[in-house]
Amino acid sequence: MDSSFKKEKNECYTYFSINGNFNPDEISQKLGLHPYKSWKIGDKNKNGREYDFSAWCFGKSEVYNVIITEQMEETIAPLLDKIDLLNQIRKENDVNFCLRVVPFLSSYNDNPCLAPSLKVMDFCTATRTEIDIDLYICD
């Protein structure tokens, strides 16, 4: 396995993303929030290929907590009072929402909890947000 996947301890990051056909600057303006990264259809990625979808990625939480649901809650906290706006964005644009959870688990055994809380599930249900857990098992 690639040496970049060797970890001394468990790690995780979470973030909220909007993907589809839209202008990320308009999303930022409408929500009054700034993404940590975004791109438009046609922008080029680091490999020089053009994106075929737009993305707006927000609330990246990288401070690992064995109770990963707390990272999820930290990510969505600024969005909780914007549920109506998010639903308006979804209805007016060709988009989908996703709460992304990316744990890297090593042989370090602190048994992280990946279960979303009711607060997270309520937010996801209210906004039709999918939860994507992209799990990496490291050497």
- The residue ranges of every structural domain in the chain are 3-137
> Which pLDDT score, from 0 to 100, does residue 107 have?
65
Q: Is the dihedral of CA 95, 96, 97, 100 positive or negative?
A: negative
Residues 1-28 have pLDDT tens digits of: 344 545 567 888 999 999 999 999 999 9
Q: Residues 118-125: what's their mean pLDDT?
A: 96
Residues 37-88 have pLDDT tens digits of: 999 999 999 999 999 999 999 999 888 777 888 999 999 999 999 999 999 9
Q: Beta-carbon neighbour count of residue 39 at 10 Å? A: 17
Torsion of CA 50, 58, 127, 92, to 10 degrees: -50
